[in-house]
Amino acid sequence: MTALTCPACAAGVGPDDLICFTCGANLPRIGDAEESPLPVTVMQETISPGETATGISATVLRITFPAGNVEVPAGTSVLLGRDPAESLVAAAFHGCENVSRRHALITVDDAGRATIRDESSTNGTFVNGDRLLPGIDVRLVDGDTVRLAADITGEVALPRQEPDPARLSRD
């Protein structure tokens, strides 16, 4: 099997990844060779592997959508939507006219806690079937179902972090 690489920085990427987590470039979708690739958009600020960041969890939230996976490392956020100028993962919603250009914002804080917020989308954002109020952060946990509009559904995978033994005390 051939290893997949990012066309912008040549870093290794997974077959279901929508963006390169090294440089933030949108990745071309497999099977859409006749379509022109989406332009490279806003870079996502990340911590390079050589840096140490005290207090930042190694947790990565993953939402598995039919078009591919969206991954959000701790300490970052990703906008879900169709507009490639706004969303790093716009390729996942290409052709989904009922998904807004700026639909929802997923945030994972430094401690690994994840939230989703509807960005005043036209057709709504839902967690486990409940519609979110625009502008209100809702906590995400492992196993939740996220739905954008009527038919774009994804499963949330958020591994639970083991406590750091250095931070434990006998008290």
CATH number (domain holding residue 67): 2.60.200.20
Asked if residue 128 has pLDDT above 90, the reply is yes
- Provide the pLDDT confidence category of residue 55 given band limits of 50, 70 and 90: low
Within a domain: residue 68? Answer: yes
Query: Is it the case that residue 54 has pLDDT exceeding 80?
Result: no
Number of domains in the chain: 1
The pLDDT tens digits of the residues spanning 4-34 come to: 888 888 888 888 888 887 777 777 765 544 5
Q: Of 19-23, 40-44, 85-89, 144-148, which range is least confident?
A: 40-44
**Residue 9 is assigned to a structural domain of this protein:** no
pLDDT band for position 93 (50/70/90)? confident
Look over the chain and give the mean of its residue pLDDT values, rounded to a whole number: 79
Please give the pLDDT value at position 50.
40
Establish if 42 belongs to a structural domain.
Answer: no
Which residue segment(s) compose the domain that 120 sits in? 60-160
Q: Is residue 87 part of a domain?
A: yes
Q: Does pLDDT of 104 surpass 90? A: yes
Is the pLDDT at 122 greater than 50? The verdict is yes
In a domain, 116, yes or no: yes
Q: Is residue 39 in a domain?
A: no
Which has more confidence, 128 or 56? Answer: 128
The answer, as to whether pTM is greater than 0.85, is: no
| 8 within a domain of the structure (yes/no) | no
Q: What pLDDT sits at residue 139?
A: 95
pLDDT in tens, 58-72: 778 899 988 888 888
DSSP string, the chain: -PPPB-TTT--B--TTBSB-TTT-PBPPPTT-TTSPPPPP-PPPP---TT---TT----EEEEEETTEEEEEETTEEEEESS-TTT-TTGGGGTT-TTS-TT-EEEEE-TTS-EEEEE-S-SS-EEETTEEPPTT-EEEE-TT-EEEETTTEEEEEE-PPPPPPGGG----
Q: Per the domain annotation, does 1 fall within a domain? A: no
Does residue 53 register a pLDDT over 50? no
